[in-house]
Amino acid sequence: MKKDLYKQGYTQNRELSWLHFDDRVLNEAKDKTVPLAERLKFVSIFTSNLTEFFMVRVGSLIDMAKANYEHVDQKSGMTPSEQLAAIYPFAKRVCKKRDEIYADLKKKMIKAGIHDLSIAECTKSEMKDIRKFFRRQCAPLLAPQIVDIHHPFPNLQSGVTYIAAILKYKNSSNFSFVPVPRTVPAVIRVDDGRSIRFVHTEDIILEMLPEIYPDAQITEAMKITVARSAYVDADDEAFEEILDYRKKMLKVLKERRKMNVTMLVCSRKPSQRFAKYILSNLKITKRELFVCDVPMDLKYAFSLGNMLSEEEKAQYLYPPYEPKLTPAVDFRRNIFDQVQEKDILLSYPYESMEPFLQLLKESANDPDVVSIKITFYRLASHARLVDYICLAAENGKEIDVLIELKARFDEQNNIDYSERLEDAGCNVIYGFEKYKVHSKICLITRVRNGETKHTVLVSTGNFNENTAKQYTDLSLMTADERIAADAVSFFQNMAIGKLDGTYQSLLVAPVSLKQTVIRLIERETEKKEKGYIFAKINAATDEEVIEKLKEASCAGVKVEMIIRGISCILPGIAGKTENISIRSIVGRYLEHSRIYIFGREKDEEMYIASADFMTRNMERRVEIACPIYDSGIRQRIHDYADTYLKDNTKARILYSNGRYHKLKDGEDPFCAQEYLMETAVESGQTIQKGPQRPAVTAFKTKFEKEKKKKKKKK
């Protein structure tokens, strides 16, 4: 790898590239071809993306800048301080753009009969209902706090909306903070059913401050929220004495609540006194202060559809789409047996995750299935998949679950699941020190008449029933002996903490994935103009891979890349990356599948993977890339890739200056996601339910168990 990569002029900063991605998400909110209520969702997604960016990426940069760690980013030549100096103005510009888009959407919603009201716009009758709602449902839940000599400045939590105010009494003046309860709805309807009129709960609490503080004069009040750094490493020395990893992660979550503030958002420009007070207490400057004219809680956009009539839903929402049951599976037959006969590819969200869930359910009740081994990274909040795994354990199967407790922002959910799985009798192990287990693999073993057979599922995305309806991913179900043998080795190695195992077919990070990707790029480079590389990934940041792709381009290799988010490599630069083309697709579904293709025809090697071309994926995580051997599935993945390369409506082309542009007009509109929905074949089959068991007793929470014990004692 060459040093000072940025001096070669074909790379860009990772963080600024990510901000450009979030800007592309925001652009969907002003796309006239997107239904009105869906456009509002993109405003919400943009905002939550930006908040997470400030919690994770900006948090780590601030830590480095405060420590005078002036390491130069090899893709841009920028120090942490210089990156921060570029990030904050950029973020404030796109937030202003977001506010303008939101204001325009509100006007369009009014024309559609959907009124997002301010308190001042409510009628007397509506205000009567609002006060009733506040007194009955909000007031009992409020926990207002005055800051004075007896009450310190509160520890404001990330993602919580607060009503901040200055209170004036006869002989004193105090600041106060009222957290908006998360248990009340974000908006309430105040209409009579003939039109849609709603107000935001945060605005109601702001309006009702005089009732909360009846003895005070409110001299200034506004809504605020903060983002805190989430950059807490469980492997830091501060946690080394905690031997139970689950307890360690709980400690990490507590520490996160006290981390540096990276962003303060106010609903109006604060006075000099207010700004000085809150900035000094949060230990930040005006750089971190954002003034935004949108609701603090925008998640209501996802429940807006519940207010619409069927006719309005058809007009203002995407047409409903239910993932199809793949015709590759006969649901009247045992799925394990079918996988023994042929490989099966599932394409989410166009096809349903149901075949995999049914496979697990069948395996849980199959007396010949002896073991199930699986990795979990992010799970649905109510996962049937976990139900079947626990059922299998109760039925005496050997169940090994490798669950990653360090999955950022899903730590608590995974901790809860780990307890449930252990209660059911599963053998639960966690990730490794310094490494996250991000691979998605399941191994089912059946012994019948003395013969051992395996079924393996490898996926590009999480085993999550909710995101399987929202993210595009590929899952391969196979009994190929080469892949099965590696899957057996993989779980054996994970059980004993061996990260440097040897595999024949699977590419496993941190051992062989990066090395093989580089070797295959070099192989194509040797072919010069006859070489070919295709990659559909979420991000490209690894310096060595980027350097090798540049060398391939210089040799004449055609490199086609679909990179949803961060791209640190700039295409189309003469003499360097002129043979590389990069596009990003942002649409109804989150593009999440990873596909690598090296070479053509007989020389081709194709993989689906859990890893992006990022250093963290290839060197600091346990990832898997699975080869595709079946010719029919290879052709299907080629068709899938070609479909995305034809997209000219949601695709944006990355230019050599780092900007993204739509394709030129004049072509017949073609949307890859819409095409794949339209062409997904419905099998027409119904899933045979079979006898249903009662709920698994192991699923009862510790609270429920304790409650039962107390009743027995009584």
Q: Residue 376's domain is classified under what CATH number?
A: 3.30.870.10
What's the average model confidence in pLDDT over 48-57?
93
What is the residue-wise DSSP string for 613-657? B-HHHHHSEEEEEEE---HHHHHHHHHHHHHHHH--SSEEEEPTT
Q: Are residues 384 and 488 in the same domain?
A: yes
Q: Are residues 369 and 308 in the same domain?
A: no
Q: Are residues 457 and 493 in the same domain?
A: yes
Lowest mean pLDDT among 301-310, 379-388, 481-490: 379-388
Q: How far is CA 228 from the centre of its chain?
A: 18
**Is residue 703 pLDDT above 80, yes or no?**
no
pLDDT single digits (tens) 15-32: 999 999 999 999 999 999
Residues facing 265 on adjacent strands: 225, 290
Q: pLDDT-derived band of residue 230, with 50, 70 and 90 as boundaries?
A: confident
**Is residue 417 pLDDT above 80, yes or no?**
no
Per-residue pLDDT, 430: 80
Rounded to the nearest 10°, the torsion over CA 467, 473, 477, 482 is -130
Asked, for residue 530, whether it belongs to a domain, the answer is yes
Cβ atoms of 43 and 210 closer than 8 Å: no
Per-residue pLDDT, 65: 82
Q: Are residues 419 and 557 in the same domain?
A: no
Q: Are residues 494 and 513 in the same domain?
A: no
pLDDT single digits (tens) 676-699: 999 988 766 766 654 444 333 333
Report the percentage of the chain scoring pLDDT > 70: 90
Per-residue pLDDT, 241: 42
Q: Which helix (H) or strand (E) holds 224?
A: strand 217-228
Lowest mean pLDDT among 229-233, 354-358, 482-486, 542-546: 229-233
Q: Are residues 310 and 348 in the same domain?
A: no
What distance in Å separates the CA atoms of residue 190 and residue 194, rounded to the nearest whole number? Answer: 11
Q: Which helix (H) or strand (E) holds 375?
A: strand 369-376
Cβ atoms of 442 and 373 closer than 8 Å: yes
Handedness of CA 407, 412, 418, 424 (dihedral sign): negative
Cβ atoms of 649 and 667 closer than 8 Å: no
Residue among 701, 702, 688, 695 at smallest CA distance from 387: 695
Q: Are residues 370 and 472 in the same domain?
A: yes
Q: pLDDT-derived band of residue 407, with 50, 70 and 90 as boundaries?
A: low
Boundary residue ending a domain (453, 471, 501): 501
Residue among 247, 252, 253 at smallest CA distance from 236: 252
Q: Are residues 541 and 647 in the same domain?
A: yes
What's the average model confidence in pLDDT over 357-376?
96
Quote the number of domains for the chain. 3
Lowest mean pLDDT among 112-126, 242-256, 553-567: 242-256
Q: pLDDT-derived band of residue 476, with 50, 70 and 90 as boundaries?
A: very high
Q: pLDDT-derived band of residue 251, with 50, 70 and 90 as boundaries?
A: low
Greater pLDDT, 67 or 92? 92
Per-residue pLDDT, 257: 58
Greater pLDDT, 93 or 385? 93
Asked, for residue 193, whether it belongs to a domain, the answer is yes
Report, as residue numbers or ranges, the catalytic residues. 438
Greater pLDDT, 287 or 229? 287
Cα→Cα distances 505→220, 455, 626, Å:
65, 15, 7
Boundary residue ending a domain (450, 474, 501): 501
Q: Are residues 540 and 589 in the same domain?
A: yes
Which residues, 6+ apart, have CB-to-CB distance to 556 below 8 Å?
Answer: 528, 529, 531, 579
Lowest mean pLDDT among 372-376, 427-431, 630-634, 710-714: 710-714
Q: Are residues 165 and 300 in the same domain?
A: yes
Q: Which range of residues forms the domain containing residue 468?
A: 335-501
Q: What is the end-to-end Cα distance of the chain in Å, rounded?
A: 71
**Is residue 234 pLDDT above 80, yes or no?**
no
What distance in Å separates the CA atoms of residue 582 and residue 539, rounded to the nearest whole number? Answer: 11
Asked, for residue 406, whether it belongs to a domain, the answer is yes
Boundary residue ending a domain (316, 344, 369): 316
What's the average model confidence in pLDDT over 94-99?
98
What distance in Å separates the CA atoms of residue 504 and residue 373, rounded to the nearest whole number? Answer: 20
Per-residue pLDDT, 373: 97
Per-residue pLDDT, 429: 86
Asked, for residue 688, whether it belongs to a domain, the answer is no
Amino acid sitting at position 197: R
Asked, for residue 700, whether it belongs to a domain, the answer is no
Residue written as token pair 């989430």: 230
Asked, for residue 711, whether it belongs to a domain, the answer is no
- The reply to whether the predicted model has a pTM over 0.85 is yes
What distance in Å separates the CA atoms of residue 154 and residue 385, rounded to the nearest whole number? Answer: 40
Residue 243 belongs to domain with CATH number? 3.30.1840.10
Per-residue tokens: 3: 């040093």
What distance in Å separates the CA atoms of residue 22 and residue 17, rounded to the nearest whole number? Answer: 9
Q: pLDDT-derived band of residue 418, with 50, 70 and 90 as boundaries?
A: confident
Q: Are residues 189 and 165 in the same domain?
A: yes
Asked, for residue 689, whether it belongs to a domain, the answer is no
Report the percentage of the chain scoring pLDDT > 90: 75
Q: Are residues 143 and 260 in the same domain?
A: yes
What distance in Å separates the CA atoms of residue 43 and residue 20, rounded to the nearest whole number? Answer: 15
Asked, for residue 155, whether it belongs to a domain, the answer is yes
